[in-house]
Chain A
Amino acid sequence: MFERSDPKITSTQAAIFLTNTVLGAGILTLPRSVTESAKTPDAWISVLLGGGIIMLVIVLMVKLSQQFPGKTVYQYSRQIAGSIPGSFLSMLLIVYFIVIAGFEIRVFAEITMFFLLEGTPIWAIVIPFIWVGGYLVFGGINSIARVYQIIFPVSIFVLLLCYFFSGRLFDLNHLRPLLGDGIMPVLRGLKSTILVYTGCEVVMTITAFMQHPQQAVKAMLTGIGIPMVLYLITVVMSIGGLSVDSVITSTWPTIDLIRSFEISGFFFERLEFPLLVIWMMQMFCNFCSFFFNASLGISQLFKLKMAPIIFGLMPFIFLATMVPVRINDVFAIGDAIGKMGIGIFFLLPVLLSLILIVRRKGLKQNV
Chain B
Amino acid sequence: MWSTIVSYIPGWVIFMQAALTLLCPLGIYYIYKKLYAFVSNAGPKMKANAQPNKDSTADSQVSGQYEADLSYVQQAIGGNSDVNFREFVVQGYELRAVLIFVNGMQDEESINRHVMQQLMFGNSGMKEEGQDSRETLTLSALKANLLPLTELEEVTELDKLQERILFGYTALLIEGIPAGLLVGQPNGSIRAITEPTSEALLRGPRIAFSEVLSENTSMLRRQGLNKNLEMKVYEVGSLVKRKLVIAYMKDIVNPDLLEEVKTRVSRIDMDFIAESGYVEQLIEDNVLSPFQQIQNTERPDRVINALLEGRVALLLDGTPFALIVPVTFSMLLQSPEDYFERWLPGTLLRLLRFFAAFMALMAPALYISFISFHPGLIPTELVISIIETRQGVPFPSVIEVLILEVSIEILREAGIRLPKPIGPAMGIVGGLIIGDAAVNAGIVSPFLVIVVAVTAISSFSIPMYSAGITLRILRFVGMMFAAVLGMLGTILFILLIFIHLTKLKSFGVPYVTPFSPLRLSDWKDLYIRAPLPLMKRRPEMMKTQKKKRRN
Contacts and interface: CB of A to CB of B under 8 A. Distances in A.
Interface centre among A1, A131, A149, A323 (most CB of B within 10 A): A1
A269 interface: yes
A143 interface: yes
A329 to B, nearest CB: 8
Contact of B379 (A124, A132, A269): A269
Interface in A120-151: 120, 123-125, 127-132, 134-136, 139, 142-143, 145-147, 149-151
A49 interface: no
Interface residues of B, number: 48
Nearest to A310: B25
A319 interface: yes
A340 interface: no
Interface stretch (A19-27, A276-284, A298-306): A276-284
Contacts of B510: 2-3, 146
B257 A131 contact: no
A117 interface: yes
A9 to B, nearest CB: 9
A117 B486 contact: yes
Interface stretch (B245-253, B386-394, B489-497): B489-497
A322 B487 contact: no
B24 A311 contact: no
Q: How large is the interface on A (under 10, 10 to 19, 20 to 34, 35 or more residues)?
A: 35 or more
Interface in A289-312: 307, 311-312
Given A116-B373, A127-B21, A147 B496 contact: no
A270 B383 CA distance: 14
Given A1-B256, A116-B373, A134-B25, A128 B487 contact: no
Interface string B173-190: 000000000000000000
A281 B495 CA distance: 8
Interface in B97-113: none
B90 to A, nearest CB: 56
B49 interface: no
B121 to A, nearest CB: 61
B512 interface: yes
Given A117-B486, A146-B502, A267-B379, A2 B508 contact: yes
B19 interface: yes
Given A112-B488, A315-B21, A1 B495 contact: no
| Chain B facing A: main interface SS | helix
Interface stretch (B65-73, B133-141, B215-223, B515-523): B515-523
A128 B485 contact: yes
A267 B380 CA distance: 11
Interface in B1-34: 8, 10, 14-15, 17-22, 24-26, 29
Contacts of A307: 29
Contacts of B517: 3, 10, 13, 146, 149
Nearest first, the 3 closest Cβ-Cβ pairs linking A and B are: A315-B18, A149-B516, A1-B508
Given A3-B509, A10-B517, A315-B22, 13 more contacts: A1-B257, A3-B508, A120-B485, A123-B14, A128-B485, A128-B489, A128-B492, A131-B21, A132-B495, A146-B516, A149-B517, A149-B518, A270-B377
